[in-house]
Amino acid sequence: MTTEIEKHITGCRTWPHPEVVEDLARLRQIAPLTHCITNSVVTNFTANVLLAAGASPAMVVTMEEVADFVRIAHALLINVGTITTTDAEVMLKAAATAQQTNTPWVLDPVAVGALKFRTDIVDQLIRFQPTVIRGNASEILALGGFAGNAKGVDSTVSSLAALPAAFQLAEQTGTVVALSGEIDYVTDGKEIITIPGGHEMMTKVTGTGCSLGALIAAFLPVTGTAVRAASAASALFAEAGERAVREARGTGSFGVGFLDQLSTIGMETRKIYI
């Protein structure tokens, strides 16, 4: 099955692919207002990732405001990582509004399949047609109806093993799927883009996966297609991760260096700050 799938691979994105360079420049110019409804562990890191890359993050999370803010925002992220009863209602409202207003949005179905409540909510959220679903292998397998073998938020399956499920999920739902792992894959159910690179240390800093979902959202109003948005964000993450690991002394300085790299990548020839 895997070789059958691999026939659909049409491209590869690594920095400095001209499309990624161009999309990043546009992101920095537009600074898309990116509405994040995300989990309590990664709010700070997610905001800092978006700011570093050049987007404008905003977390608006109450029922009274969420629909109004989806209307103002350029893009939306919904991440169910630490979902609560109240959050679920807010997320459903946000997703319904995004569909109504054609606001592009990303669904990050953290640990879907492992716990019934969030699995039900994710099922409902998907009906509002996310522009992109971003997940690891276990999550994408779970969404595709396969057993994902999830262990908390971390996948125990390789991304390649989940690629057929990702392709099929994209095909059936009309949603672009961004599958994260040793190699990232982005697919719309027709073509598949591969994004190699990155580093295992990215799994040792909380929020690298979740903030990738946020950056994909930020790229959606910037690039021509959702495949391109997800590919650009993934390629930037892979490159920033590789650069950061070279100078890291451990996971703490890696996280800091990752933000440093995101905030300076593509500006190599000019000194922007000072």
Q: What share of the chain is helix, strand, coil (3-state, %, to 5)?
A: 50, 15, 30
Interacting positions 138-197 with a copy of itself (CB under 8 A): 151-154
- 127 touches a copy of itself (CB under 8 A): no
What is the rounded distance in angstroms from the CA atom of residue 260 to the CA atom of residue 90?
Answer: 33
- 129 touches a copy of itself (CB under 8 A): no
- 271 touches a copy of itself (CB under 8 A): no
Which one of 24, 125, 169, 262 is in contact with a copy of itself (CB under 8 A)? 262
Which one of 15, 27, 43, 197 is in contact with a copy of itself (CB under 8 A)? 43
Cβ proximity to a copy of itself: between 81 and 164 the closer is: 81
* Strand, coil or helix: 53: helix
Cβ 198 vs Cβ 153: under 8 Å: no
Which one of 1, 2, 3, 116 is in contact with a copy of itself (CB under 8 A)? 116
Q: What is the pattern of x (binds a copy of itself, CB under 8 A) and - over residues 53-72? A: ---xxxxxxxxxx--xx--x
What is the residue whose two structure tokens read 């905001």?
47
- 29 touches a copy of itself (CB under 8 A): no
Class of residue 21 by CB neighbours under 10 A (exposed 0-12, middle 13-18, buried 19+): middle
- 42 touches a copy of itself (CB under 8 A): yes
The phi and psi torsions of 36 (rounded to 5 degrees) equal -115, 120
What is the rounded distance in angstroms from the CA atom of residue 232 to the CA atom of residue 36?
Answer: 19
- 76 touches a copy of itself (CB under 8 A): no
Cβ proximity to a copy of itself: between 10 and 86 the closer is: 86
Q: For the beta carbon of residue 216, count every other beta carbon within 10 angstroms.
A: 32
What is the rounded distance in angstroms from the CA atom of residue 199 to the CA atom of residue 181?
Answer: 10
Nearest distance from C-beta of residue 198 to a copy of itself, angstroms: 13
- 83 touches a copy of itself (CB under 8 A): yes
Q: DSSP code of 202?
A: G
Cβ proximity to a copy of itself: between 119 and 129 the closer is: 119
